[in-house]
Structure 1
Amino acid sequence: MIDAMKNRSALEIYKEGGAWWETEISHIQKNSIEIRGYPIEELIGELSYPQMLYLLLVGELLDDSKAALFESVLVAGADHGPRAPSIAAARMAVTCGISFNSS
């Protein structure tokens, strides 16, 4: 299919009913959006944010218990933020005059 699209604009392909942009993640055509093979209208309101994120990244749906665990990992990572011990140590080292690369 890639050879057939050479020397054709994305707009021309889209006007003929083809996808504007093709990826492994999404397939978008007139009146149709699919994410990893699932119609978007089947995902909206059915998946949590962690489930959707996992689907986008990995291409698989998570059940509720795994999604809850994934959400906990995301929250825990966000919670550490700029005050994580490793970051605090680097900031302290820079403050004491150690070079940026050494910190």
Structure 2
Amino acid sequence: MQDKITQIEETILPVHLFPKMNDTLVESSLQKLALSLGLEIDSYLTSYKAVSVSSEDAKILQCKRSTSAMNITNRGFLTSGEAFIVSDIIDINYQCTYHTKFNNESLQYRDQNDR
């Protein structure tokens, strides 16, 4: 972002699904690559956790150790249930906005179960 390093991402892909990998493929969309190989993406499970930047990551991100950051862990699943991607991101400039549909069933469930 504006010539500043703001995140570190480590991604694991199964070799049997992605036997030919190179820098060009890694820098482009891994989702598009998966689809081009005939893989059917089903869903993602994403976790967010506030963390402090480690000394090692601070050197890469060119920031102070213990700077606040967001750790984002993302797992992508195929329709077969197999994980096709696991990524771990440390981001020091994280911002996210979601637009979600109202879930009336969830509200009714919480009302019925006093939650």
Shared fold, TM over 0.5: no
- TM-score bracket, normalised by the shorter chain, equals under 0.3
Q: Name whichever structure is richer in strand by fraction.
A: 2
Structure with the larger RCO, 1 or 2 (CA within 8 Å, 6+ apart): 2
Highest Rg: 1 or 2? 1
Q: Name whichever structure is richer in helix by fraction.
A: 1
TM-score (norm 2): 0.25
TM-score (norm 1): 0.27
